[in-house]
């Protein structure tokens, strides 16, 4: 495989140093890639894609009978994170999740952080994702955000920033596990010699965390995964996680509230359940408490939850911290609740509801990225330098009409990694979504989903907009691996 034409183009490259030599952790992978004959990598790539298709790791593009099912695009070259860097990321994520959970606990009870003047009450109460009917809730063990998928990006200077927290129903962890499985099968030689930390115990950790939430009197807690159903784009993941944990995958219509408890409808009548890992947004989980038109949820669920007779992960109401204006205050939360500086910085954020910020944003629309406070998936967003004059005008109007709903950030030069493009290697921009579980303690899955913008020059990594994924290899501290010993019969 030839790297001679590979260009860094002034971006931070996850595999190469600025002088073009591989980073220490990537040296072995680089050697292996170079030693491959032309076409080998393409063949690996194709066999990986075939494996993903056969495993049915697909999402539906159209909803006609056969549908057009596509695999989530996958790139065969792994992204490597060295042990020392991972230690920083891991401690930064622990710190951040710990503080965010304290924030959620506080904001729905005493709201001290408002009283102490750290965050204006307006900012919280005007967030679309603030749930007034979660005030006074006491989730089991005081934990709100059980599963988080924080989005991290690296700028040109090499610094990792937190881009989004994703405290509601972050998806993608199934791709982390399945990408790894496919990589082990299709690319075993490289994998064997690098000391890559395993991700395979995630389902076990998730199950432990969920069982730990069960009401104290539940002896063998019944845990279920609640999905919106087969037409949801993340359905594969819901069924995958249920399967890997060995628990039931239920839809709203399988559940019913009866005698003050949540039950599922089984072949032997109703069966009580204790913990629901719900992959349905707050708005839809209970038509009596939230959106009355929801047919996906379970009428009366919130009453049972409030009474402590069923546990939900994540707790309802966590979305308030995903509001991009609230996000801007996370470093202050860390300082306020923990007395520490944030280990992982936020991307500098201008808040359009503040006059000075807004004026700066309006004057610099051609340099900034503007985002709606409550959108995700790359929607409701303006990438100033790539936008037309008309688009910028449109956003200027939107900002002036509803300043609370917009924030702006500098356009980051996201770091790049080598990607296989038509038999050659080219640099593409990536982000990183690690997954964090908050149970008895905080667990950070070593690795995460590396999303890659497969379109040349694109900064948008979302799968709905031409993004793909890569396996993410976090190297272990201990590079020494003993050779395998066998008995005398095996060694001849």
Hunting for tokens 């405290």 — which residue is that?
A: 167
> How far, CA to CA in Å, does 275 sit from each of 216, 247, 437?
12, 11, 15
Does 248 sit near other proteins (CB under 8 A)?
yes
Does 259 sit near other proteins (CB under 8 A)?
yes
Hunting for tokens 């959620």 — which residue is that?
A: 104
Does 204 sit near other proteins (CB under 8 A)?
no
Does 271 sit near other proteins (CB under 8 A)?
yes
CA–CA gap between residue 469 and residue 242 (Å, rounded): 22
Cβ pair 191, 403 in contact under 8 A: no
Does 264 sit near other proteins (CB under 8 A)?
yes
Cβ pair 361, 352 in contact under 8 A: yes
Does 272 sit near other proteins (CB under 8 A)?
no
- The token pair at 308 is 């402590």
**How far apart are CB 235 and other proteins at their closest, in Å?**
8
CA–CA gap between residue 250 and residue 170 (Å, rounded): 18
Hunting for tokens 């995630």 — which residue is that?
A: 202
**How far apart are CB 62 and other proteins at their closest, in Å?**
15
Does 265 sit near other proteins (CB under 8 A)?
yes
**How far apart are CB 110 and other proteins at their closest, in Å?**
37
Q: Which of 28, 55, 83, 426 binds other proteins (CB under 8 A)?
A: 55
Based on CB atoms, which residue is closest to other proteins, 65 or 485? Answer: 65
Q: Which of 242, 301, 328, 417 binds other proteins (CB under 8 A)?
A: 242
Q: Which of 35, 243, 359, 402 binds other proteins (CB under 8 A)?
A: 243
**How far apart are CB 320 and other proteins at their closest, in Å?**
31
Q: Which of 17, 53, 201, 457 binds other proteins (CB under 8 A)?
A: 53
Does 217 sit near other proteins (CB under 8 A)?
no
Query: What is the distance of C-alpha 337 from the center of its chain?
Result: 24
Within residues 320-379, the interface with other proteins by CB under 8 A covers none
CA–CA gap between residue 27 and residue 234 (Å, rounded): 36
Number of shown-chain residues binding other proteins (CB under 8 A): 29
Q: Which of 24, 39, 56, 348 binds other proteins (CB under 8 A)?
A: 56
Based on CB atoms, which residue is closest to other proteins, 53 or 121? Answer: 53
Taking CB under 8 A as the binding criterion, the range among 239-247, 315-323, 344-352, 410-418 that sits at the site for other proteins is: 239-247
Q: Which of 233, 239, 288, 462 binds other proteins (CB under 8 A)?
A: 239
Neighbours of 367 (CB within 10 A): 12
CA–CA gap between residue 9 and residue 418 (Å, rounded): 12
Residues contacting 352, CB < 8 A, separation 6+: 358, 361, 399, 403, 404, 405, 406, 407, 408
Does 481 sit near other proteins (CB under 8 A)?
no
CA–CA gap between residue 89 and residue 85 (Å, rounded): 6
* Per-residue binder mask for other proteins (CB under 8 A), 60-89, x = binder: -----xx-----------------------
- The token pair at 341 is 């500086």
**How far apart are CB 236 and other proteins at their closest, in Å?**
8
Cβ pair 280, 297 in contact under 8 A: yes
Taking CB under 8 A as the binding criterion, the range among 52-60, 95-103, 305-313, 453-461 that sits at the site for other proteins is: 52-60
Closest C-alpha to 253, from 284, 287, 290, 298: 298
- The token pair at 254 is 């399988």
Using CB under 8 A as the criterion, which residues of the chain lie in contact with other proteins when the complex forms? 53-56, 65-66, 225, 230, 239-240, 242-243, 247-251, 253-254, 256, 258-259, 264-268, 270-271
């Amino acid at each position: 495989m030839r790297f001679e034409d590979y260009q860094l183009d002034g971006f931070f490259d996850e595999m190469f140093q600025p002088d073009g030599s591989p980073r220490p952790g990537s040296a072995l992978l680089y050697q292996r890639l170079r030693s491959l004959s032309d076409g080998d990598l393409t063949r690996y790539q194709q066999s990986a894609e075939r494996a993903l298709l056969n495993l049915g790791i697909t999402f539906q593009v159209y909803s006609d009978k056969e549908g057009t099912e596509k695999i989530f695009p996958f790139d065969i070259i792994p992204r490597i994170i060295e042990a020392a860097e991972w230690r920083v990321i891991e401690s930064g994520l622990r710190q951040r999740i710990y503080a965010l959970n304290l924030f959620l606990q506080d904001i729905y009870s005493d709201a001290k952080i408002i009283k102490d003047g750290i965050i204006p009450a307006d900012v919280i109460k005007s967030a679309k994702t603030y749930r007034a009917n979660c005030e006074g809730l006491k989730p089991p063990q005081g934990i709100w955000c059980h599963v988080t998928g924080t989005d991290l990006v690296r700028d040109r200077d090499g610094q990792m920033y937190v881009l989004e927290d994703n405290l509601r129903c972050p998806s993608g962890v199934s791709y982390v596990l399945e990408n790894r499985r496919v990589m082990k099968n299709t690319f075993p030689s490289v994998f064997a010699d690098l000391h890559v930390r395993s991700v395979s115990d995630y389902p076990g950790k998730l199950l432990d965390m969920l069982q730990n939430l069960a009401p104290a009197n539940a002896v063998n807690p019944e845990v279920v995964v609640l999905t919106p159903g087969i037409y949801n784009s993340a359905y594969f993941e819901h069924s995958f996680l249920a399967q890997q944990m060995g628990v039931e995958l239920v839809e709203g219509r399988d559940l019913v509230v009866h005698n003050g408890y949540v039950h599922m409808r089984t072949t032997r009548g109703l069966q009580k359940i204790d913990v629901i890992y719900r992959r349905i947004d707050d708005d839809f989980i209970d038509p009596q408490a939230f959106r009355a038109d929801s047919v996906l949820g379970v009428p009366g669920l919130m009453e049972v939850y409030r009474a402590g007779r069923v546990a939900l992960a994540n707790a309802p109401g966590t979305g308030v911290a995903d509001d991009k204006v609230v996000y801007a205050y996370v470093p202050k939360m860390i300082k306020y609740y923990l007395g520490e500086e944030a280990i992982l910085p936020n991307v500098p954020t201008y808040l359009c509801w503040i006059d000075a910020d807004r004026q700066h944003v309006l004057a610099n629309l051609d340099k900034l990225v503007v985002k709606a406070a409550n959108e995700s998936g790359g929607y409701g967003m303006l990438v100033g330098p790539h936008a037309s004059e008309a688009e910028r005008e449109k956003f200027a109007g939107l900002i002036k009409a509803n300043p609370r709903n917009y924030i702006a950030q500098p356009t980051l030069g996201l770091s790049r990694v080598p990607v296989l493009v038509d038999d050659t290697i080219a640099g593409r921009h990536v982000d990183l979504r690690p997954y964090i579980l908050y149970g008895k303690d905080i667990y950070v899955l070593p690795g995460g989903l590396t999303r890659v913008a497969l379109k040349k020059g694109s900064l948008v990594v979302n799968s709905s907009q031409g993004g793909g994924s890569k396996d993410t290899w976090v190297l272990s501290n201990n590079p020494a691996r003993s050779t395998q010993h066998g008995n005398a019969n095996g060694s001849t």
